[in-house]
């Protein structure tokens, strides 16, 4: 019982993921700055940002729904924290898997966006209304991509019967070789990269949030100190969650039997993951909302459906 509480609060949930995630957020800023020819902030910058936000005054607009405004950020934060308790870390932590935690993952992935939408809608600002509109349109299409990728991985592991347990997906790859080297899954990896760009709201999908061209700060424009800090911490947890999901689906290789070495290997893989997305952030410009919707509807959906078809054909024995 007490081991479960430690797994929830300190490792790999709670404290470990929060600290790693906040470092990853400022690492992203540093890599983008170096690519643009500047010197970025120091590595502990986002820590100080979050601590400073707890010391400011909370201002609530007059026409806002107070209850929803103050408590909506907790939905996303609690969801991310709960999901990190279930995820296995390759070589270090077995995961507290019940048999259906892939389906739980699909639901929980959408929770931070729902928290953004509720919080933005409850503040009575026209900028927030436009940003919520755009976020909803994007959410429609990128959730579909993630569902199709998860189903193709689950079908392949179960050889026809879908296996929804993350622990079994990890163990299958540790025996049979990881999916990163399997040519049938390469379209799914490209689709997963596009999905991560869309869900973290990085360019080219930086339309609803931090878009300095029209909506300014998007749905967070009326939020003050403590709600804003909780949104930033949710963002930090989301980066760690996405990196862990990528490793479980495609590359859960542990390098040694030692727990500490495997933990360091996990951190190194997360750092490389975040650096790759910072490279894409620095290079690509941003789409308009109609271009983004069309792109997300056509390209990653097709790629993930190609992988699904290849997986079905290989399960039937035709490839």
Partner 1 sequence: METKDKDSKMSGFLKIAIRNLLKGPTTDPYPFGPTFIPDKLRGKLKVNPKACTACGTCEEVCPSGAIHITKNENVYVHTTWYNTCCYCGNCEFFCPTGAIKLTNDFHTANTEAEKFKFVTVATIPEVKCEKCGEYFMAPSLELLKRAYPNVNESIERFLTLCPKCRQKEAFERLHK
Partner 2 sequence: MSIITRSPFLFRINTGSCNGCDVELATTAMIPRYDVERLGCRYTGSPKHADILLVTGPITVRSKPYLLEVLDELPNPFVVVAVGTCPTSCGIFRDSYAIEGPLDKYVKVDVNVPGCPPRPQAIIDGVAKALEIWKQKIRIQK
Report in angstroms how near the CB of residue 47 gets to partner 2 at its nearest. Answer: 9
Answer for which of 124, 133, 225, 314 binds partner 2 (CB under 8 A) is 225
Nearest CA-CA partner of 29 in 42, 17, 47, 18: 42
Residue placing its CB nearer to partner 2 in the complex, 59 or 318 = 59
Structure tokens at 315: 């399960």
Q: Contact with partner 2 (CB under 8 A): which of 29, 65, 137, 168? A: 29
* Residue 51 binding target from partner 2, partner 1, none, CB below 5 to 8 Å by type: partner 2
- Binding test (CB under 8 A) with partner 2, winner from 137, 162, 224, 289: 224
Q: Which residues contact 86 (CB under 8 A, 6 or more apart)?
A: 95, 96, 97, 101, 104, 105, 166
Is residue 158 a contact point for partner 2 (CB under 8 A)?
no
Q: What token pair was written down for 248?
A: 């479980």
**CA 178 to chain centroid:** 21
Compute the distance between CA of residue 182 and CA of residue 69 in angstroms, rounded to an integer.
46
- Looking at 216, 280, 297, 299, which residue binds partner 2 (CB under 8 A)? 216
Query: Distances from the Cα of 195 to the Cαs of 91, 139, 200, 311, in angstroms?
Result: 26, 10, 9, 20
2 binds, among partner 1, partner 2, none (CB under 5 to 8 A by kind): none
Q: Which residue has the tokens 């459906």?
A: 305
The reply to whether 226 sits near partner 2 by the rule CB under 8 A is no
Q: How many Cα atoms occupy the beta-carbon half-sphere of 223 within 13 Å?
A: 30
Q: Kindly tell me which of 51 and 140 has the beta carbon lying closer to partner 2.
A: 51
Question: Minimum distance from CB of 32 to partner 1 (Å)?
Answer: 10
Tell whether residue 51 is a contact of partner 2 (CB under 8 A): yes
Please say whether the beta carbons of 230 and 131 come within 8 A.
Answer: no
Q: Which of 42, 100, 160, 177 binds partner 2 (CB under 8 A)?
A: 42
Using alpha carbons, select from 279, 195, 268 the residue that is nearest to residue 238: 195
Site residues (vs partner 1, CB under 8 A): 33-39, 279, 282-284
Are 27 and 275 in contact by the 8 Å Cβ rule? The answer is yes
Among 36, 126, 183, 290, binds partner 2 (CB under 8 A): 36
Based on CB atoms, which residue is closest to partner 1, 284 or 306? 284
Shortest separation between residue 207's beta carbon and partner 2, angstroms: 14
Bridge partners (DSSP) of residue 211 are 216
Of the candidates 25, 23, 5, the residue with the CA atom closest to the CA atom of residue 14: 5
Helix, strand and coil in the chain, % to nearest 5:
70, 0, 30
Of the two residues 119 and 300, which places its CB atom closer to partner 2 in the complex?
Answer: 119
- Three-state DSSP state, 89: strand
**Residue 283: contacted member of partner 1, partner 2, none (CB under 5 to 8 Å, by partner type):** partner 1
Q: Which of 1, 3, 59, 175 binds partner 2 (CB under 8 A)?
A: 59
Least gap, CB of 175 to partner 2 (angstroms):
47
- Site residues, partner 2 (CB under 8 A): 29, 33, 36-42, 45, 48-49, 51-52, 55-59, 210, 212, 216-217, 220-225, 228
């Amino acid at each position: 019982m007490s081991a479960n509480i430690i797994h929830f609060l300190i490792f790999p949930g709670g404290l470990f993921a929060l600290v790693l995630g906040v470092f990853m957020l400022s690492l992203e800023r540093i890599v983008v700055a170096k690519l643009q020819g500047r010197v970025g902030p120091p590595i502990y910058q986002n820590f100080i940002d979050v601590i400073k936000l707890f010391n400011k005054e909370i201002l609530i607009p007059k026409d806002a729904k107070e209850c929803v405004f103050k408590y909506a950020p907790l939905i996303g934060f609690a969801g991310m924290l709960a999901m990190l308790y279930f995820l296995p870390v390759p070589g270090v932590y077995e995961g507290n898997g019940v048999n259906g935690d892939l389906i739980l993952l699909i639901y929980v992935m959408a929770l931070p966006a729902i928290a953004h939408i509720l919080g933005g809608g409850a503040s009575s600002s026209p900028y927030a209304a436009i940003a919520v509109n755009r976020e909803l349109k994007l959410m429609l299409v990128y959730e579909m991509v993630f569902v199709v990728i998860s189903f193709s991985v689950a079908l392949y592991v179960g050889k026809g019967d879908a296996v929804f347990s993350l622990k079994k997906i990890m163990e299958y790859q540790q025996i049979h070789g990881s999916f990163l080297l399997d040519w049938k899954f390469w379209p799914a990896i490209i689709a997963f990269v596009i999905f991560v760009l869309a869900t973290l709201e990085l360019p080219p999908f930086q339309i609803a949030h931090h878009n300095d061209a029209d909506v300014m700060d998007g749905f967070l424009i009326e939020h003050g100190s403590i709600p804003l800090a909780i949104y930033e911490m949710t963002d930090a947890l989301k980066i760690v969650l996405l990196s862990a999901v990528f490793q479980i689906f495609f590359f859960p290789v542990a390098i040694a039997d030692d727990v500490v070495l495997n933990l360091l290997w996990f951190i190194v893989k997360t750092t490389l993951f975040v650096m790759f997305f910072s490279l894409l952030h620095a290079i690509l410009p941003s789409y308009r909302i109609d271009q983004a919707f069309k792109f997300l509807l056509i390209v990653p959906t097709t790629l993930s459906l190609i992988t699904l078809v290849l997986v079905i054909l290989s399960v039937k024995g035709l490839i």
